[in-house]
Amino acid sequence: MPNDVSLAERSQRYQALDLVSKPVWIFDIDRRRVHWANRAALKVWQATSVEELCARDMGIDMSESVAQRLKQYQNDFVSHGAAFNEQWTLYPGGVPISLNVRFSGHRLGDSMAMLCEAAPTENREPESLRSVEALLHSAVMTSLYGADGQALYRNPAARAAVVSPDERLEDRIADRAAYATLTAALRDHGIGTLTVLVRTPQGERWHELSARRCRDAVTGQDAVLVSEADISAIKRTEERANFLAMHDPLTGLPNRSHVMQRFERAVATIQSAGDEAALMFIDLDHFKDVNDTLGHIAGDTLLVQIAARLQAATRNTDVVARLGGDEFLILMVSQNIRSEVDNVRQRLMRTVAEPVMISGHEVRVTPSVGVALYPRDGRDIETLLRNADLAMYTAKDRGRNDLAYYDVGMSEAVRSRTVLESELRRAFERNEFEVHYQPRVAVGTGRIIGAEALVRWRHPERGLVSPDAFIPTCESTGLIRQLGNQVFADAVRRQVAWARAGHDLMVSVNLSARQFVHDDLIADLHKGLRDHSGNPRRMEVEITESMLLGNDQNMLDRLRAIEGMGMDIALDDFGTGYSNLAYLHRFPIKTLKIDKTFIQGLDANRPLAELIASMCKLMKLTAVAEGVETAEQLQWVAAHGIEQFQGYLFARPLPAQEFSTLLAR
């Protein structure tokens, strides 16, 4: 019957129902209004007439759970022709009245309405009424299943979560193994709880499901009471947290923890299959330059690009991970592991080195790679990581953009460096360092006109140790600043003492690369001069060509600050590096020290030495020949107008006291 027919027509149609003694009414679910009611129903609803009752908007104070339940009824009426018997509490005029109601479908034109047949409830105890009402409105899904798995009852929340009204418990649980676990628990213990995927109209969802054996209150037969709570949101949060715990947030690659777990799982498979594994430790060369020049956002963009390239260069079975910073790992397994590493190496070196455009700048980085093999180089992930890291540093020492396999000599070298570092720290505590001085001599007169300060280590067991054996370790550990300040302070003190004795010498001190770039260099030099009342115009610092590479304004400012203090600057070992004449014009350099290889070398080297000597005259620089050991070499130096020399022909580096004695002679 169409919804817009008159009340008279409705009364005519339902005349027979008007004679029924129990309350009967028809509810239009879509419009949320009573379509028609008999006299008994009017009393229940406390309505004066059918017209007045049909005019009421039942949706004004209808709860969401009731609306949801009515929609479920409507769907089941349409699809299954179902009927339901439930206890409901109505609130006509705000007064609660509990009824047992049978609901069945009733067609109104194109829509499905609901025929409601009510009877008073037998149990009117408050607790019973409230429990029924709570069950109706609860968000917890509560279902009662018979021993055969058929649903005997579902509250509205449970009904909304099933795909079909006749769905069995076995059908509901998506994982058959989980269902078997639940039934075993019910059989053995009468109760079972598990977190499980269930089928719902919205797809599979995670539910916390609790089941308990009981009896059906109607038949007395065995039954199972099931309550469920949807924890999909919590599960997604857990999964996200687990993902973040095992993955790098920037690149999305697995992290160190992921690799460690993956390796432990892979070991058993590797052993049973007779395979080998390789751990490749990758560090990006000069990545810091990108951060320093273009900023950290550009650096992050580059890391994301490199991560994608590493994945593209490896197999699907390989694990590519990011340790942090610009360090990456690749874990691979193969029966011929060296061959597979070599294959990946070719692809990796090619793809990583391709330029990347970032903010309009073309950026290139190269990889230095260290490889440790399982089981040869270690049987646990920590050992393999450590050894691959050592191999990576070997690749960097070879000139970067290279791959090196680990060997035991690398560990020995590290142990030796560790021992050496410990001994060096004790050497500072015991004042075992001493400064020797090598004379700088005027070629024409043979008179000592200067001295170069050279540090030595008086080791308690090994005797006098050359700086080549410990300076690199001082550089890498940061001890070089302390050592450099000691040498400079000693040189200032000696220059002052010799000047008082009538020997006004120029004393030169070498600056290491690490010391030269330290932020406190100028302050340290000022302090050394101030503490010992030094004369800066009789002090000279020596730097090497490699320290002048690039176009760094800070470096130029630093050299000018040294010059501004009154000290001279010498370029040491000239000719062995880049020998760029632009340095000599741009930087405040007063002295060139010609490397001993040109003085002691074959005749083939002499033309370049002659060119350097001529250049010094042209540019009015002081030339000093290093490493003069024979009279023939000194004759050659004199013949080419080189003004000063150093070397064993005149004297080796001497302790300060012996140098003073030499001056006195």
Q: What is the pLDDT of residue 599?
A: 84
Q: How does DSSP assign 201-261, residue by residue?
A: TTEEEEEEEEEEEEE-TTT--EEEEEEEEE-HHHHHHHHHHHHHHHB-TTT--B-HHHHHH
- Strands 622-625 and 83-90 turn out to be unpaired
Which residue from 435, 438, 461 is spatially nearest to 450, judged by alpha carbons? 438
Which residue from 13, 8, 60 is spatially nearest to 32, judged by alpha carbons? 60
With H, G, I as helix, E, B as strand and everything else as coil, classify residue 359. coil
The angle formed by the CA atoms of residues 349, 352 and 356, to the nearest 5 degrees, is 150
Instruction: Give the residue carrying structure tokens 């593209």.
Output: 312
103-118 per-position pLDDT tens digit: 888 988 888 999 999 9
- Tell which wins on pLDDT, 69 or 385: 385
Q: What are phi and psi for residue 654, nearest 5 degrees?
A: -120, 150
How many residues are given for the chain? 665
The answer, yes or no, to whether residue 305 has pLDDT greater than 80, is yes
Mean pLDDT, rounded, for 568-592: 76
183-205 per-position pLDDT tens digit: 999 999 989 889 899 999 889 99
Task: Give whole-number Cα distances, 81 to 52, 74, 264, 435, 618, in Å.
Answer: 30, 9, 58, 105, 111
Do the beta carbons of residue 475 and residue 513 sit within 8 Å?
yes
Q: What is the pLDDT of residue 11?
A: 77
Q: What is the pLDDT of residue 329?
A: 93
* Domains delineated in the chain: 7-131 (3.30.450.20), 139-236 (3.30.450.20), 247-406 (3.30.70.270), 427-664 (3.20.20.450)
Q: What is the pLDDT of residue 126?
A: 62
Do the beta carbons of residue 619 and residue 587 sit within 8 Å?
no
Q: Which residues contact 365 (CB under 8 A, 6 or more apart)?
A: 284, 285, 286, 287, 290, 302, 306, 326, 352, 353
* Alpha-helical runs (H) found in 430-551: 471-477, 480-500, 513-516, 521-531
Q: Which residues contact 445 (CB under 8 A, 6 or more apart)?
A: none
C-alpha to C-alpha distance for 209 and 173, rounded to whole angstroms: 10
> 289-303: string of b/e by CB count within 10 Å (b at 16+)?
ebbeebeeebbebbb
Tokens of residue 481, six digits: 């600043």
With H, G, I as helix, E, B as strand and everything else as coil, classify residue 552. coil
The answer, yes or no, to whether residue 122 has pLDDT greater than 90, is no
Mean pLDDT, rounded, for 466-482: 86
Question: pLDDT band at residue 578, thresholds of 50, 70 and 90?
Answer: very low
Mean pLDDT, rounded, for 441-448: 94
Q: What is the pLDDT of residue 149?
A: 86
The answer, yes or no, to whether residue 131 has pLDDT greater than 60, is no
Which residue from 50, 46, 20 is spatially nearest to 34, judged by alpha carbons? 50
Q: Which residues contact 394 (CB under 8 A, 6 or more apart)?
A: 370, 404, 410
Q: What is the pLDDT of residue 137?
A: 59
Rg (CA), the chain: 46
The answer, yes or no, to whether residue 132 has pLDDT greater than 70, is no
Q: Give the other-Cβ count within 10 Å of 319's Cβ.
A: 18
Mean pLDDT, rounded, for 636-653: 93
Question: pLDDT band at residue 135, thresholds of 50, 70 and 90?
Answer: low
4-42 per-position pLDDT tens digit: 677 778 878 887 787 788 999 999 999 999 998 998 999
C-alpha to C-alpha distance for 185 and 178, rounded to whole angstroms: 11
Do the beta carbons of residue 588 and residue 560 sit within 8 Å?
yes
Longest dimension (CA), the chain: 144
Do the beta carbons of residue 117 and residue 107 sit within 8 Å?
no
Q: What is the pLDDT of residue 218?
A: 74
What is the dihedral sign for C-alpha 312, 313, 319, 322?
negative
- Tell which wins on pLDDT, 92 or 483: 483
340-388 per-position pLDDT tens digit: 898 889 898 889 888 888 888 888 888 999 999 988 898 888 899 999 9
Q: Give the other-Cβ count within 10 Å of 616's Cβ.
A: 22
Q: What are phi and psi for residue 94, nearest 5 degrees?
A: 80, 0
The angle formed by the CA atoms of residues 449, 453 and 454, to the nearest 5 degrees, is 135
Orientation of helix 521-531 relative to helix 480-500, angle to 10°: 30
Mean pLDDT, rounded, for 121-148: 69
Question: pLDDT band at residue 509, thresholds of 50, 70 and 90?
Answer: very high
What is the dihedral sign for C-alpha 585, 590, 593, 594?
positive
